[in-house]
Structure 1
Amino acid sequence: MLAIRRATDDDVAEMAQLAADFGLFTADPQSLASHAERIAALVADPRHCVVVADHDGVLVGYAHAQDYGPTLRHSWTTARLHDLFVREDHRQSGLGRRLHRAIVVWCRSRQVKHLEWQAAPSSIAFYQHLGYRADYGTDYANHPSFEHWFDA
């Protein structure tokens, strides 16, 4: 059975391994331990939303967003989607859409008005399929930005 849920402390080591499998860093023990420590801090921080895709007790994807909080000018907040990864053998299954949806639901629960992110070249079509338009006028032309504005 596949479930999208908030990450817990019990998921941290497996999430670090999954991130290494995605090529985000090397999988040596020291690097894994360092990243697991950082992931644990993010999972515990209410300004961050870390959701996982759990397939029969095995993590096959995750998403991470951060709420930047209100500013001097606005009571509403902007959030950034930092990561959304799905294992290759689970892509094209709707899982990425479900992870993204979980982040959107979390944003709505926090008075986030603006969610923004940049996409790797390999994920541009995915976000376009979700209905978003790529903005190539950013600092990283190969990694266009995307945004979701919420109703006030």
Structure 2
Amino acid sequence: MGDGDTGDGGTGDGGLRIRPATTADADVLLPLFAAHRAADEPDEKVDRYRERLGSLVENHAHHIVVAELDGRVIGYAAAQDYGPAPHRDWSIARMHDLWVSPDARGHGAGTALFEAVRSWAELDTRVRVLEWQSLDVAAAFYRRLGLSGEHVDETDPRERYELEVHLPSRR
């Protein structure tokens, strides 16, 4: 797991803890979501996020985790398993968000959140590929994790990432 995360949801060095999000986290996550999406999302999407969070944390196809530092929620990651298509027995999962509050960066929360999403995808044997997009501001973070993205559309500033997390045996 990432810096400070024990892998079991417990607190590691520096008081960092990664845990599943709950419906009670909505009021704490909303300002983080609004700050993360302020540049590219309209306010009404933030309002819809609040409405949906309760059902998403209960939905087994979604994996939403929060990072706490010394008891304060400082970041979150959200991923979704899209399920297998009719023509295949495996699925693609997408990491929709990974964000850490700027005043709390540098404590390993981003790495721990990413590892929590990666572990979730690896444990689900249906998931073969974990994909996500990222703005250039996060490219250095992903490079530090040993990952590289690519621009697939010249009009889109986001890089696309793809990680094979589980290869089903075909014996």
How high is the TM-score relative to the length of structure 1?
0.88
Q: Which residue of 1 aligns with 2:6?
A: none
Secondary structure at the counterpart of residue 61 of structure 1 = strand
Alignment pair present for 1:9 and 2:23 = yes
- 4+ residue segments displaced more than 2 Å: 21-27, 30-35, 137-141
What is the alpha-carbon distance in structure 2 between the residues aligned to residue 26 and residue 77 of structure 1?
30
Alignment of 1:64-83 (within 5 A): 64-83=78-97
1:86 to 100, 122, 129: 100
TM-score normalised to structure 2 length: 0.79
Question: Equivalent residue for 2:128?
Answer: 113
Structure 2 residue 141 is matched with structure 1 residue 126: yes
Deviation of residue 34 (structure 1)? 3.7
Confirm or deny: 8 A CA contact 1:138 1:145 kept in the other structure.
Answer: no
Corresponding residue for 2:163?
Answer: 148
Structure 1, 125-134 or 76-85: larger mean CA deviation = 125-134
C-alpha deviation, 1:11, in angstroms: 0.7
Distance 1:134 1:93 in 2: 24
How many residues align? The count is: 150
- Looking at structure 2, the residues matched to 138 and 151 of structure 1 have their Cα atoms a distance apart, in angstroms, of 27
Structure 1 unaligned spans of 5+: none
Alpha-carbon offset, residue 14 of structure 1: 0.9
CA-atom RMSD, angstroms? 2.0
- Name structure 2 gaps, 5 residues minimum: 1-14
Higher relative contact order (CA 8 A, sep 6+): 2
Please say if residues 33 and 46 of structure 2, whose CA atoms lie closer than 8 Å, have aligned partners that are also in contact: no
Paired residue secondary structure (2:89): coil
| Counterpart AA for 2:119 | V
Whole-Å separation in 1 of the counterparts to 2:153 and 2:77: 22
Aligned equivalents of 2:46, 2:157: Cα separation in 1? 28
